[in-house]
Structure 1
Amino acid sequence: MELKRTRAEILLVAIPLFIVALFPVAWAFLSSFKSLKDIVSPVPVLLFRPTLQNYLDVIATPAVQMGILNSIIAVGGSVAIGTLLGWPAAYALARLSGRAKNELLFYVLSIRFMPPVAIAIPFMAIYLGLGLNDTHLALILTYSLVTISTIVWMSIPAFENVPRETEEAAELDGYGPFAVFWKIALPIASPSLIGGVLFTFVVIWNELLIALVLTAQNVTLPVVASSFSTLGMEVPWGVINASAILLCLPPLLFIGLLTRFLNRFFQPRTAL
């Protein structure tokens, strides 16, 4: 009886919060199929004739096509670097103990404390001197600071939950340090590690300020989407809502594809 009451209380709080969180997304989705006249109507229009013109306008824009390509290159490259460097670093920190571990953890977390401007402006000066400003490489290197620190921070608890006894048994079977990490720790921790990579991808995909500072021609999709608010005399709300919905699709597709791939990749490796 007490368990049922607790569950009912949780649902009583969770359902209104879920509705409040979902309402802006649902409203933007509906508005993306409305004409500008229906969107700016003083009385909210719930029954309307849907149109795909807003999506066609967004997709047909060359800047959007280039923005998608630039985002895929910059975000994909930085997340790949963050994963390749972050997972081994997180494993090493998870097996470290003492004051040195706490100091390194604070340093990793402090990178996330910095506002984007504190990262972007110094790097812009460096890239201008090296001739790398407004390039994919500049974005990838800058984003990598965020991806490495985020993946390291979120992966450490996953590796800490890997039983030490399992690793010790593998060492007795002749596994070296890298083999223990690759064949034992990584498959066991993979469900939590995947979540960290997905979260990092979403954060970087939606990043605006760093790309706004470091790029002029090779702009990413969030920069292109933000520029729609300055088109013409009237704000094209339908186009803005359509671009916002399209901006959400790649992370959702990435989550589905990456989850399936990594689950299949690690499943046969879970046993010694």
Structure 2
Amino acid sequence: MFGIPVSDLLPLVVALLAAGLLTGLLAGMFGVGGGAVIVPVLYQIFGLLNVPESVRMHLCVGTSLAIIIPTSIQSFRTHYGKGKVLMDVLRLWAVPVVLSVMAGGVIAAYAPALVLKLVFVAVAGSNAIKLLSGRDDWRIAPDLPGPVGMRAYGVLIGLASSLMGIGGGAISNMILALHGKAIHNAVATSSGLGVLISIPGALAYIWAGWPHLAELPPLSLGFVSILGFALIAPTSTFVAPYGARLAHSMPKRRLEIAFGVFLLLVSLRFLYGLVA
């Protein structure tokens, strides 16, 4: 199956299920869709499946966006129930985020894998530095900008997220924090972005990958792996509410450190992949 001996399938399934558990926990805790975990894990797994390098990163990103759909919905429902979601922010971001996500999917169809990896390192690394510094006085402004500025942020979030295969939390958390919003509000609001990003993003990658079906493994729907989705999505969705509850029980600084360490490890992982 997919060029892998039957004896190797069990470890593969276990790895995917474990990735689903970790993804769900992180999605709930940090308001992220878990793509920063899913993408590097799938990159290694698809390497075992002998997926060509020219389409492997794209398949990882598209599959990640599809997996994020149920995880983000579950995470958002939990955070919304806690009353921490900034709904006025989500309303301003909705249209520019969705449109830029779809545009990002089209760009990714023609971009080399190097571009997708560089976006990962730049966004995750800058977030890690901000969070681990512990400097609450780092501010762009004491409050969020007006509608024009907010929509510009929405375009940035949607475009970068679609190229990374993430739910947007890593970017929106930093933007909200730099404008004086509390980490718990930032995390909760970011969970809603995952819903706005993952659905159009997955559809865009299905469309973009359709001409490449001959290069992709069986059970691929464009740049989305049905196998990866079927194994990771249910487990991550189940665990996401527990991560969200854990986030609301943690002190602010501990949550910032945990998120910063996580993003730093992701940055180093992809940086190593670029130079290795």
Q: Which has the higher contact order (CA 8 A, sep 6+)?
A: 2
Fold similarity call, TM over 0.5 = no
Q: Which has the larger radius of gyration?
A: 1
Name the TM-score, length of structure 1 as normaliser: 0.34
